[in-house]
Amino acid sequence: MAQDKQSIAQASAIAADDFAPDGDDTGRSNLFTIGDLAREFGVTLRTLRFYEDKDLITPQRDGLNRLYTRRDRARLKLVLMGKRVGFSLNEIKDMLDLYDLRDGQVMQLKVALGKFNEQIALLERQKKDIEQALTELRRTVSVVGGLLKEKEQAAG
Amino acid sequence: MAQDKQSIAQASAIAADDFAPDGDDTGRSNLFTIGDLAREFGVTLRTLRFYEDKDLITPQRDGLNRLYTRRDRARLKLVLMGKRVGFSLNEIKDMLDLYDLRDGQVMQLKVALGKFNEQIALLERQKKDIEQALTELRRTVSVVGGLLKEKEQAAG
DNA sequence: TGCTTAGCTTACGTTTGCGTCAACGTCCAG
DNA sequence: CTGGACGTTGACGCAAACGTAAGCTAAGCA
């Protein structure tokens, strides 16, 4: 089953800002090390490298060392949000790529909106499945519980 | 995400009978071929062989061909029910093995009951996770939807 | 100089549940 | 004799997301 363990950690919500054309890169602390981001978002270094390998985030380099910009950080935020709501990394990549095309902004937002709605439908189905499973389990528990009572009385 | 596709097909409910000491094997049609069971339960041959490989079901042989008894059939039923409610094949195997020990019947039923309740708790957690994801997605949809309206108005 | 911290790359391992060939054997109807 | 239907045993493939070494580098500091 999915949605397993640690659904804890960073659940930094998405803001309209995260969908802005290009995060204002004129602040001060604009560069992060891999460790910085890992700590901030509660992921491992391996994870960040993995995401890079999958072209989800593409930090610059200072020699060999990775340097993440605010834009990278924003992307990571979107990736993690995507994961939380059940998208696969591939789906997330598709959306981010689409976003990068920037063919007018509107198109991509519409596409994303579509995927979000699909995902909502999917999650609702899963929720139903789980509810059915719960129903069956509870019924079974009562059946088995009944048997147990009998047995214990008989043996008691 | 789990609970994916085909949650359709055979959802033959569990009855108290399925937990009986040993299915009365004195009826007539007591032997089934692999194809029989596959059709009856809507699984593939591959699946049944796979279950055998995992020691979930251990049919006899007629030469090379598998022959399933009513007991095997009952086990299969339990396996599929276990799957429906989210147990892994390993967990299911553990329970079936335990069941086979038959150290007094009561003990195993108690253990199973415990696992069922754990699973109920797990599913409830997953349900909550999904609900949270849904909440976040819906919020995001409204945010993105808002952005879209703005953009479309601006662009006319 | 030696330790610690932080980072790097490469690459195999893990888990779950089968799908999908490949290459044959067997038996029955036509 | 031939073509299906039904069955058999391997055995590789896959998807997802990293974990987990192994082995190396470079900087900082005590």
B131-145 residue pLDDT tens: 999 999 999 999 999
How would residue A18 be classed by pLDDT, with cut points 50, 70 and 90? confident
Calpha distance B106→B89 (Å, rounded): 23
Average pLDDT over residues B80-104: 87
Average pLDDT over residues B3-25: 53
Average pLDDT over residues B55-81: 95
> Considering only CA atoms, which residue is closest to the C1' of nucleotide D19?
A46
The alpha-carbon gap from A51 to the nearest alpha carbon of chain B, in Å, equals 19
The answer to whether residue A87 scores a pLDDT higher than 60 is yes
Residue, of B7 and A40, whose pLDDT is higher: A40
Q: pLDDT digit string (tens) for A33-84?
A: 999 999 999 999 999 999 999 999 999 999 999 999 999 999 999 999 999 9
The answer to whether residue A103 scores a pLDDT higher than 80 is no
Q: pLDDT digit string (tens) for A109-155?
A: 898 999 999 999 999 999 999 999 999 999 999 999 998 888 888 87
Residue A121 is given by DSSP the state: H
The reply to whether B41 Cβ lies less than 7 angstroms from strand C is no
Identify which of A1, A16, A145 has the shortest CB distance to residue B86: A1
Q: What are the residues facing A32 on neighbouring strands?
A: A68
Domains along chain B?
16-102 (1.10.1660.10)
How would residue A9 be classed by pLDDT, with cut points 50, 70 and 90? very low
The answer to whether residue B97 scores a pLDDT higher than 80 is yes
| Phi and psi angles of residue A97, each rounded to the nearest 5 degrees, phi first | -60, -45
DSSP notation for B59-75: -EEETTEEEB-HHHHHH
How would residue B103 be classed by pLDDT, with cut points 50, 70 and 90? low
CB B147 within 8 A of CB A108: no
Among chain B residues, the shortest Cα distance to A127 is held by: B127
For chain D, which bases have at least one atom within 7 A of a protein Cβ? Answer: 6-9, 11, 15-20
pLDDT for B53: 95
